[in-house]
Amino acid sequence: MPQGQPLTVPDDGLSTRERREQPLLMVHTGDGKGKSTAAFGLAIRAWSQGWNIGVFQFVKSAKWRIGEQTVLERLGALHQETGEGGSVEWHKMGAGWSWSRKAGDETDHAAEAAEGWGEVKRRIATQDHDLLILDEFTYPMEWGWVDVEDVVDTLGQRPGRQFVVVTGRRAHPRLVEVADLVTEMTKVKHHMDRGQKGQRGIEW
């Protein structure tokens, strides 16, 4: 695809501009490092275009705070103060979702994931965000915490111009089937395989 030009142009009656405006469902999967990192980098790019961004972190404990969260929340605050960029919301399960009044106790991860997916569905229906990042969402799908066909139908038939990124290993074949862009991160070498622990600024 030289200089960003598509290899084929479909006979769909759309202009180049109309085709460029079509939203994408993107999946970052595979055993390699960088799935979430790539998604958050995309969020920073989208913020600079004035997009409304919603990040929903599944599986990760709410006690963990990664560097990208700090950066994106600061960018969201900048938007509120100056109007620059776009708005940012960051939610994560584990100790109660951000919108929930109850403080979760991390005892029922399946219920937390189902609640999170329910909220994502509501936001998709009302088109609250231009970009939604469903971080580590492949795992609730794999473990049966959410219904795969419900996910596929909701994401595949979402209204308006909403971009979605799903991250996590072992993406379900149905999710891969309906996605517009699927990237598999392949591990060639990893420093943790030799016993080296995660490092500040690299892993968080």
- pLDDT for 73-90, tens place per residue? 999 999 999 999 999 999
In the chain, the percentage of residues whose pLDDT exceeds 70 is: 81
Please count the structural domains in the chain.
1
Range of the domain at 33: 22-185
- pLDDT(18) > 60: no
In a domain, 95, yes or no: yes
In a domain, 78, yes or no: yes
In a domain, 203, yes or no: no
Strand, helix or coil for residue 108: coil
In a domain, 16, yes or no: no
Alpha-carbon separation of residue 111 from 36, 136, 144, 175 (angstroms): 23, 16, 11, 21
Q: Which residue has the higher pLDDT, 37 or 200?
A: 37
CATH number of the domain where residue 93 is located: 3.40.50.300
Q: What's the pLDDT score for residue 26?
A: 98
Strand, helix or coil for residue 103: coil
- pLDDT(100) > 90: no
In a domain, 2, yes or no: no
In a domain, 66, yes or no: yes
- What is the value of pTM for the model shown? 0.86
In a domain, 143, yes or no: yes
In a domain, 164, yes or no: yes
How many H-runs (helices) and E-runs (strands) does the chain carry? 7, 6
The DSSP secondary-structure symbol of 196 reads P
Nearest one of 129, 122, 33, 145 to 90, comparing CA atoms: 129
Starting from the edge strand earliest in sequence, which strands make up the sheet with 131-135, in order?
88-92, 53-57, 131-135, 163-167, 25-29, 181-184
Q: Find the angle CA(34)-CA(78)-CA(203) to the nearest 5 degrees.
A: 20
Q: What's the pLDDT score for residue 1?
A: 47
